[in-house]
Amino acid sequence: MFDLTQKVALVTGGARGIGKGIARVLGRAGARVIIADIDAAAGQACAAELGGHYLPLDVSRQADCRRVVDDVIASHGQLDILCSNTGIFPQCALADMTEQEWDRMHNINLKGTFFMVQAALAVMRPRGYGRVVITSSITGPITGFPGWSHYAASKAGQLGFMRSAALECARDGVTINAVMPGNILTEGLQAQGEAYLEQMKAAIPSHCLGTPEDIGHAACFLASREARYITGQTLVVDGGQVLPESPEALAATA
């Protein structure tokens, strides 16, 4: 495992699911982890379980994102790693989607990423060191799924933002990269029901769903000193889901 001793890591949306998996792995690697989440009860419970700290956060509010970064600096003296993970994925058919549903998705998934990264860079760039890891998705940048056009757009948008932002801070010792999870067995995925889970497994060459810790290990690498020469890049973590060119190719792996 990569050594993150003496590093301070802020994980947004860290109370459950992929965010919790990231927080767990970073903590095991030696980082001091701050879990920021809109759900206070879940965030406090997660921090107690993992031995980290909790801060309340609504990523759709720019002032909230700046406050959280200020709080991290006040309590820990530095911010080395930001894992911008907060995201939602309610399903809605395009024909039925309202402007409010579209805006809510982008306010949290895309605008929230912008707000958090901007706030973190304000303290990372003057220090000459920082690692930013954005949780995107294969849905949008690579694949599509009916009912998630707003989600797909927000996730593709994150990557466009990431690439240009990475250029702006490339000379400041700060890297910005993204992990792109496939189907990860989180509380949100489980809520889709057993039939959906089986459908997703059938589409994966390894025929198994990933764990939040699988994403955590990818994030840990991108957050490490060893990843200093990687910026503006994506790392797909999906068990090979995007590889088959046809159902026949997938069937041949059975």
Annotated catalytic sites, by residue?
151
- Rounded to an integer, what distance in angstroms lies between the CA atom of residue 14 and that of residue 5? 19
Identity of the residue numbered 118 = Q
* Nearest-10 Cα torsion for 139, 79, 66, 186: 30
- Rounded to an integer, what distance in angstroms lies between the CA atom of residue 11 and that of residue 83? 5
- Rounded to an integer, what distance in angstroms lies between the CA atom of residue 225 and that of residue 131? 9
N-term to C-term CA, the chain: 32
Both tokens assigned to 235: 């790392």
User: 246-252 long-range CB contacts below 8 Å, 24 or more apart?
Assistant: 250/203, 250/205
Helix (H) or strand (E) holding 151: helix 149-168
- Rounded to an integer, what distance in angstroms lies between the CA atom of residue 175 and that of residue 167? 9
Q: Are 168 and 132 in contact (CB under 8 A)?
A: no
Both tokens assigned to 166: 């990475």
The backbone torsions φ and ψ at residue 62, rounded to the nearest 5 degrees and listed phi first, read -60, -40
